[in-house]
């Protein structure tokens, strides 16, 4: 436990010093502001530049703001998250800065678990800030209660991010170059995307946690429809972490 806390504190200090934390929080803050603002201004922009097309669009609602929220976070937000955190382990392995600490008795398992916990914490804080800002701004522009199942839908988004970070950690424990970690993580997402083409696999595919958010809000998808996807994402997350620990224990630094 002492090793775990030491690595976790080290990651937190380095994240603040390298502006990793600041970058993520600012990006997600911007996404939280942009989502309802985009929904509100899109009809006005269409009216100004393409008036014929604007007539075909209905007046924006809170659902449009939440649609922008899920679109922005699941695309740009997750990309920024993975890119910013991609060097959390691989960069130190490549530079050899972990060797001194490990030779002094630092547990390799603690390194993996503490770094992963730090990544999940940053993801949780970033998503929470984005959600709260979007919720407040959406309520200001489109007064009314939040949509039903909003919290469950956001939880599904969060769970996919946790899974994606576990894949990134496994890649970092296995490979050395940061770019290789990014390519492997992106390859897993592409693989899930190709797998989603096969209809029978949809309810088990973790990618459903991203693609069905708005379906939950409008009622065309029920929470039970995503339970299998959540279970698979949770099992895959655990598998990635255990495998990352086993690989990193035997890795030559």
Q: Which of 49-53, 92-96, 145-149, 170-174 has the lowest mean pLDDT?
A: 49-53
Q: Is the pLDDT of residue 152 over 90?
A: yes
Average pLDDT value for residue range 21-37: 92
Round to whole Å and give the CA distance between 201 and 167. Answer: 20
The model's confidence at residue 146, banded by pLDDT at 50, 70 and 90, is: confident
pLDDT at residue number 100? 66
Q: Nearest-CA neighbor of 163 among 123, 127, 199, 197? A: 123
Q: Can you give the residue range of the structural domain that contains 196? A: 2-250
Q: Extract long-range pairs of 59-65: CB within 8 Å, 24+ residues apart.
A: 60/142, 61/142, 62/138, 62/139, 62/142, 62/144, 62/146, 62/147, 63/147, 63/214, 63/217, 63/218, 64/39, 65/35, 65/36, 65/38, 65/39, 65/40, 65/134, 65/137, 65/138, 65/141, 65/142
- Asked whether 217 and 66 are in contact (CB, 8 A), the reply is yes
Q: What's the structural domain count of the chain?
A: 1
The H or E element containing residue 37 is helix 20-49
Which pLDDT band holds residue 128 (cuts at 50, 70, 90)? Answer: very high
Q: Are the beta carbons of 221 and 153 closer than 8 angstroms?
A: no
Please state, in angstroms and rounded to a whole number, the distance separating the CA atoms of residues 140 and 249.
Answer: 52
Report the 10 Å Cβ neighbour count for 58.
7
Q: Is 151 exposed, middle or buried (0-12, 13-18, 19+ CB in 10 A)?
A: exposed
- What mean pLDDT do residues 4-18 have? 79
Which pLDDT score is estimated for 56? Answer: 62
When pLDDT is cut at 50, 70 and 90, the band that residue 141 belongs to is confident
Is a pLDDT exceeding 70 seen at residue 101?
A: no
* Average pLDDT rounded to a whole number, residues 25-47: 84
pLDDT of amino acid 87 = 80
> Mean pLDDT, to the nearest integer, of 103-110?
76
Q: What is the dihedral of CA 239, 212, 28, 69, to 10 degrees?
A: 180
More confident residue, 247 or 11: 247
The DSSP secondary-structure symbol of 198 reads S
pLDDT digits (tens, 9 = 90+) for 178-216: 888 899 999 999 999 999 888 888 889 999 999 899 999
Q: What is the pLDDT of residue 53?
A: 60
Tokens 């436990």 correspond to: 1
Enter the tokens of residue 105. 């008795």
* Residue closest to 174 by CA, chosen among 74, 92, 96, 250: 250
% of the chain exceeding 70 in pLDDT = 88
User: In this structure, how many other beta carbons lie within 10 angstroms of the beta carbon of residue 48?
Assistant: 10
Which tops the pLDDT comparison, 18 or 119? 119
Tell me the residue length of the chain: 253
**Looking at residues 214-223, what average pLDDT do you find?**
91
């Amino acid at each position: 436990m002492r090793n775990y806390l030491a690595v976790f504190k080290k990651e937190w200090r380095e994240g603040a010093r390298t502006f990793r934390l600041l970058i993520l929080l600012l990006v997600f803050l911007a996404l939280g502001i942009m989502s309802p603002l985009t929904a509100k201004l899109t009809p006005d922009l269409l009216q100004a530049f393409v008036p014929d097309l604007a007539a075909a669009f209905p007046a924006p609602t809170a659902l449009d703001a939440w649609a922008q929220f899920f679109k922005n976070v699941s695309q740009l937000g997750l990309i920024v998250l993975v890119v910013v955190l991609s060097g959390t382990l691989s960069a130190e392995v490549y530079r050899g800065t972990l060797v001194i600490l490990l030779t002094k008795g630092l547990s390799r398992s603690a390194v993996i678990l503490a770094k992963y916990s730090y990544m999940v914490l940053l993801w949780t804080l970033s998503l929470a800030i984005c959600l709260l800002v979007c919720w407040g701004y959406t309520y200001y522009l489109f007064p009314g209660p939040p949509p039903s199942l909003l919290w469950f839908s956001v939880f599904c988004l969060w769970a996919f991010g946790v899974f994606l970070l576990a894949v990134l950690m496994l890649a970092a424990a296995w490979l050395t170059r940061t770019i290789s970690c990014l390519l492997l993580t992106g390859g897993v997402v592409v693989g899930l995307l190709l797998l989603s083409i096969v209809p029978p696999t949809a309810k088990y595919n973790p990618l459903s946690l991203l693609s069905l958010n708005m379906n939950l809000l409008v009622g065309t998808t029920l929470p039970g429809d995503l339970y299998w996807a959540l279970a698979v994402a949770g099992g895959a997350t655990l598998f990635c972490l255990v495998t990352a620990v086993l690989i990193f224990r035997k890795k030559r630094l």
